[in-house]
Amino acid sequence: MDDHPDLEARTDLAPEPGTTGEVVLRIGHVSDLHVLDAASPMRFEWIETLAADPRWRPLLHMHRPQESLVPWALAQHVDEIRADGSADLLISTGDNIDNAQRNELDVYLALVAGGTAQLPATGGPQDARDHLHLLGDAPWPYWSPDASVDDLWKPRGYPVVDDLVARTEAPLTSAGVGVPWTSLPGNHDLFCQGTSLVNDTLASVATGGRKAFLPPPGFVPDDPLTLFVDRPEAFLGAGERSVEPDPDRRPTDLTEWIAAHAMAGALGWSGTTPTGRADTVVRLGEVTLVLLDTNHPHADYQGSVGRFQLRWLEEQLDEADRHGRLVVLASHHGPDTLVNERGADPDRVLAAPMLEVVHRHPCVVLWLTGHRHVHRITPRAGAAGGFWEITTASIIDWPSERRSIRLVRHPGGSVEIRTTVHAHTAPEGSLAWWHRALAERSGGSTIRNAMAGSRLDRNVRLFLSR
């Protein structure tokens, strides 16, 4: 699947070499999967109903019609990677889960490494039949696939799929991806809804049996984002109903995240890390993969980097330069989203110092990122020859595609990166098919086109001189 007859050549950073190169590594890249527990009490779907108010937009998205189907879409991609043999390595650049919960993490790991996964849909926003009384005569504000439920979504063309909730929460068995794999944490892996630290109040609510679907009465904050970061418990809403309590909804932290990955067989992870963050190195042949944790310790959804992480990164790049290795840097946030200054922490830096370090090292040829839910390929020119930043779109949202990447070394030092994107091929009517069909409906054509990227962000050949 990696070979593609119509790869467009991009010579932004270097001319096309006139030689035949050797493939040194084949990478499968996914990002922003957002495996989620739709019935969790530690969710705030009602914020989505306020999307028209600009004050609330930094907190979006808290709900999507296709969200509970993500495990099925991910399983389909995993099966196809396993079947086509197109990758030596699969990497996810974060937001593997949506809400920092242990049960979400267990499902993600089971699908990628192999196992049986199950998450509830009963009690979530699509399960409305026994709960319409919460709204009086108003229609249900979320899409319900049930024909008997009057909601705000069916008039916009969303379908009736009467058995969807029951099918969604059935057990799902995955054989695993069948190749070495690894991942790194994004903001949603460690923060409540990807934005706030999980405090004791939220942790208690998460494992309990009451879930809210309406905002607190009279709740009109001037700055919803700042309040959510500082006091997320203020957003615990009204319109509560009963859900099945689950102790596995407990919040997960970085230590547990790393240990769970190590136990599941993810490359690069053991009990400790050299920086105390989720930073690690994986060496595959003549390629070094450097995974960098860009989550901001004071929360909020954008990223930053610690000064101690930069020193560690420079050590890894110095070593790679000495040995003539190629480096692929991977992080959840890329340069354009390393902008988080919350907390005014002198030990944190943003994009400029990070780019200064990377541009000193000709070994760096590629930086893989996620977070933005779009396909984007950006040339990053620099004194050492520059590098390419490849951002891969999300699995949860349109276009729900994975990316294949081949690193190619040419005689004389030139480097070529061949990349193609792939939608899954699930049969019509399957849950993975429904996920992508619903994702395509979300937003207008302008948003969908932006997420899918231009032709220069999708199936291309990229060149570097070294």
- Domain residue ranges in the chain: 8-120+169-464
With both helix axes pointing from N to C terminus, report the angle between 351-359 and 307-322 in degrees, rounded to the nearest 10.
Answer: 10
- Give helix 102-113 / helix 254-264 axis angle, nearest 10°: 20
Query: Which positions of the chain have pLDDT values less than 70?
Result: 1-5
Note the CATH architecture for domain 8-120+169-464. Answer: 4-Layer Sandwich (3.60)
Count CA within 13 A, CB hemisphere, residue 244: 10
pLDDT at 451: 98
Start-end of H helices in 97-139: 102-113
pLDDT of residue 444: 81
Distance CA(96)–CA(183), nearest Å, equals 8
What is the rounded distance in angstroms from the CA atom of residue 221 to the CA atom of residue 238? 16
The pair phi, psi for residue 380, each rounded to 5°, is -115, 90
Question: For the chain, first and last CA: distance in Å?
Answer: 28
Residue pair 174/258 in contact by the 8 Å Cβ criterion? no
Q: Residue 2 has what pLDDT? A: 47
132 DSSP assignment: G
Total-model pTM:
0.96
- Residue type for position 210: R
What whole-number distance in Å separates Cα of residue 436 and Cα of residue 417?
28
With contact defined as beta carbons under 8 Å apart, do 139 and 156 qualify? no
In angstroms, the CA 9 to CA 332 distance is 26
- Cβ–Cβ < 8 Å for 232, 199: yes
| Whole-angstrom distance, CA of residue 287 vs CA of residue 91 | 14
Name 407's bridge partners: 25, 417
* pLDDT value of residue 331: 99
Only one residue has tokens 């040829």, namely 365
Judged by DSSP in three states, 165 sits in helix
Helices 102-113 and 70-84: crossing angle in degrees, nearest 10, is: 20
Calpha distance 449→437 (Å, rounded): 15
